[in-house]
Structure 1
Amino acid sequence: MQTILVTGATANIGRKVVDHLIAQGAANIRALTTDPRKAALPEGVEVVQGYLRRPETLPAAFAGVERMYLAPTPDTVDEVLTLARAAGIRHIVDLSGEPESWWGTVCKAVEGSGLEWTHLWPADFMENTLVWSRQIRETGAVREPRPEAATAPIAMDDIAAVAAVALLNDDHVGRAHALAGPQMLSRAELVRQLGAALGREIAFLESSREDTIAALTPAMGDTATWYVDNVLYGFDPEPGDLPLTSVPDITGRPATTFARWAADNAARFTA
C-alpha cells in the first residue's frame, strides 16, 4: 500500500490534512514533525522527525513514500524536491500560490522537479482575521483602511479537505486548484459577522495606513507593514476572479461560511 507523507503535520493545515486522510479511509499515513513526542497525532499514524528547512533531516522520512503534501517553505524547496525525487516520491500536492506571487516560487520549483504535481492556491485564510483579536479585546474595534475591500476567505479545514482528495485521487495530477470560500465579503462585513458570533457589536474604524500598521504590529510584529501594503491595499479581486464553488466541486461537501467559522472560533477572539 502506498505511503502518504504529510509535512508540517502538526501545523495549522497539515494537522487537518491528516484528519481528512483518515476520514477518507487512507492508511499508511506518515506525519513529519519537528518533535514527535508532542505531536499528539491519531493512533495509527506513523510519526517521524524532520524539518523542511533542514533538508538533511528528511531522507529517512521520505523513504518508501509515494505521495506527499508539501507545506510551503520557499527557502529550501529545491533541496527538498531533490531529496523527494531521489527517494522515489511520485506525486506532490503543494500549498503555494500563482507563479507571479511570492509563494509561486514553490509551485514553479515543484513543476521543475519532474515529479507529478497538484497545486493548491488558496485565497485569504479565514484564520487571518485572528490578527484582530487583540484590538477587539482591548478596544472593541478593528482598524483598517478599506472597509469596502472584498475577498472570499477560505477556512484552513477546507484547504486540508481538498489536499486529502488530491493526495488520494490521480484525477488531480497536473492541475492547479485556485481555492476560495463560498462568499465575497467586504472587510466591514467580516467584522459585522464576527461581532454577531461574539454577541456584541464590533466597530470598524476606517484608519490610515500608518494607524493600521500601528494597530496590527502588537499582533503581527514586523510583518504588519507587509500585510497592510500587500494584502489590505494590494489585493482587489473581482467577483468573477474567485472560484466560489471550488471546495464543493472538489470535495463534494459544502464549503465553510465565515459566519460558521466565526461561531466555531469565537472563543479565540476573547481569550
Structure 2
Amino acid sequence: MAILVTGATANIGRMVVDHLLGMGAHEIRALTNNPRKAALPAGVEVAEGYLRRVETLPAAFEGVESVYLAPTPDTVVEVLKLARDAGVRHVVDLSGEPEGWWGDVTRAVEASGLPWTHLWPADFMENSTMWAEQIRRTGAVREPYPDTASAPIAMDDIARVAATALLGDGHVGKAYSLGGPEKLTRTELVRQLGVALGREIPFLHVSPEETVEALTPTMGDTAAWYVDTVLRGFTENPVLPTGSVEEITGRPGTTFAEWAAAHTADFA
C-alpha cells in the first residue's frame, strides 16, 4: 500500500518525500500540480493533482494507506471524504491547535473518522527569510517587539517527524506540538543570523506600522497580518521549546545557528 504525500513540491512536502526515502520507504506517491517540473527522485510515483481542485484527486488516493496532508482549510472536508472512501487508514496532518490559525484542519481531520496524527509546529526558522530584502537593502532588521520570544523550528525537522509518524507505530491519536530546541528573542535571532553572515546586523526597534512598511516588499498584503497577529501572538503567548523532535525521531532538533549557517545564500 502506498504513502501519498500531498503538496509534494512545496517546502515541507518535498522534504517529507526525501525523509521517507531515507528511511527506506517504498511505494511513495507524490501529489503535485505540475509533474513536468516536479523533479522528484527516481522511484517516487508522481500523481498530478491539487488539494484545492478536488476533482483531480480520486486517482491519487487509489491504493493509498497513509497520507501526509498539507493544510488547505477550504477543501479539507472534501479531501478527507475522498481519502476515507478510498480506504486510507492514517492521516498525518500539518495543522494547529483547534482554536488557532489552522484549527479548521485539525477539527476536520478528527471529524472525518480517519485515524490521525496532528503536527502542530511553532514558527518556521524559514520565516526569517522575510528579513532578507531589507538586510540586503539597508543592512538592518526593523521590528516592534525586540524581546518577544519563540522556539522556531526548521521545516526539515517537521518533515522528519512527519515521515517518522507515517512509517512508525504508536503515533495514531497523538497531537505533537513541535517547537525548536531553543527559546530565542527576535534580537537574538538577528544576532545569530549576523554571526552566520559574518557581519553585525542591527535590530532597529520601530513601530508596528514601520515594520509593515519594511516587510511589504517581501510579504505584500500579508505583512500587516503577520505583524498584528503572529508577532503580537508571540508577545502574548510565547512558544517554548518542546524537545518533541528528538523524542519522536531520536535526533536533536536543528538549532537556529545551524540553520542560519546552512542558509546564508538566502540572505546574500
Between the two proteins, the alignment pairs up a number of residues equal to: 268
**Deviation (angstroms), 1:40:** 0.6
Find the counterpart in structure 2 of residue 251 from structure 1.
249
Instruction: Output the amino acid matched with 2:159.
Output: A
Query: Contact 2:8 / 2:32 at 8 angstroms: preserved in 1?
Result: yes
Q: Secondary structure at the match of 1:93?
A: strand
Q: Does 1:189 align with 2:188?
A: yes
Find the counterpart in structure 1 of residue 74 from structure 2.
75
Find the counterpart in structure 2 of residue 60 from structure 1.
59
Find the counterpart in structure 2 of residue 213 from structure 1.
212
Distance 1:12 1:67, change over 3 A: same
Instruction: Output the amino acid matched with 1:234.
Output: G
State the alpha-carbon separation in 1 of the partners of residues 113 and 261 from structure 2.
43
**Deviation (angstroms), 1:102:** 1.9
- 1:91-132 CA deviation, whole Å, 9 max, x = no partner? 100000000012010010000000000000000000000000
**Deviation (angstroms), 1:151:** 0.4
Q: Secondary structure at the match of 2:211?
A: helix
Find the counterpart in structure 2 of residue 264 from structure 1.
262
Distance 1:22 1:131, change over 3 A: same
State the alpha-carbon separation in 1 of the partners of residues 229 and 213 from structure 2.
16
Q: Secondary structure at the match of 1:26?
A: coil
| TM-score w.r.t. length of structure 2 | 0.98
Find the counterpart in structure 1 of residue 95 from structure 2.
96
State the alpha-carbon separation in 1 of the partners of residues 242 and 114 from structure 2.
29
**Deviation (angstroms), 1:237:** 6.8
Find the counterpart in structure 1 of residue 174 from structure 2.
175
Instruction: Output the amino acid matched with 1:81.
Output: L
Query: Contact 2:182 / 2:241 at 8 angstroms: preserved in 1?
Result: no
**Deviation (angstroms), 1:238:** 6.6
Question: Which runs of no fewer than 5 residues in structure 1 stay unpaired?
Answer: none
| TM-score w.r.t. length of structure 1 | 0.97
Query: Contact 2:7 / 2:13 at 8 angstroms: preserved in 1?
Result: yes
Instruction: Output the amino acid matched with 1:246.
Output: S
State the alpha-carbon separation in 2 of the partners of residues 34 and 238 from structure 1.
36
Query: Contact 1:121 / 1:178 at 8 angstroms: preserved in 2?
Result: yes
Question: Which runs of no fewer than 5 residues in structure 2 stay unpaired?
Answer: none
- 1:153-187 CA deviation, whole Å, 9 max, x = no partner? 00000000000000012300000000010000000
**Deviation (angstroms), 1:234:** 1.9
Q: Secondary structure at the match of 2:21?
A: helix
Find the counterpart in structure 2 of residue 107 from structure 1.
106
State the alpha-carbon separation in 2 of the partners of residues 121 and 57 from structure 1.
27
**Deviation (angstroms), 1:236:** 3.4
Query: Contact 1:150 / 1:237 at 8 angstroms: preserved in 2?
Result: no
Q: Secondary structure at the match of 2:73?
A: coil
- 1:207-245 CA deviation, whole Å, 9 max, x = no partner? 001100000000000000000011111223777x63431
Find the counterpart in structure 2 of residue 35 from structure 1.
34
State the alpha-carbon separation in 2 of the partners of residues 237 and 26 from structure 1.
41
State percent identity of aligned pairs: 71
Q: Secondary structure at the match of 2:234?
A: coil
For the aligned residue pairs, the C-alpha RMSD in angstroms reads 1.0
Instruction: Output the amino acid matched with 2:151.
Output: A
Find the counterpart in structure 2 of residue 126 from structure 1.
125
Instruction: Output the amino acid matched with 1:66.
Output: E
Which range moves more in the overlay, 108-117 or 165-174?
Answer: 165-174
Find the counterpart in structure 2 of residue 87 from structure 1.
86
State the alpha-carbon separation in 2 of the partners of residues 226 and 44 from structure 1.
41
Q: Secondary structure at the match of 1:233?
A: helix
Query: Contact 1:178 / 1:243 at 8 angstroms: preserved in 2?
Result: no
Instruction: Output the amino acid matched with 1:17.
Output: V
State the alpha-carbon separation in 2 of the partners of residues 86 and 180 from structure 1.
34
Query: Contact 1:151 / 1:237 at 8 angstroms: preserved in 2?
Result: no
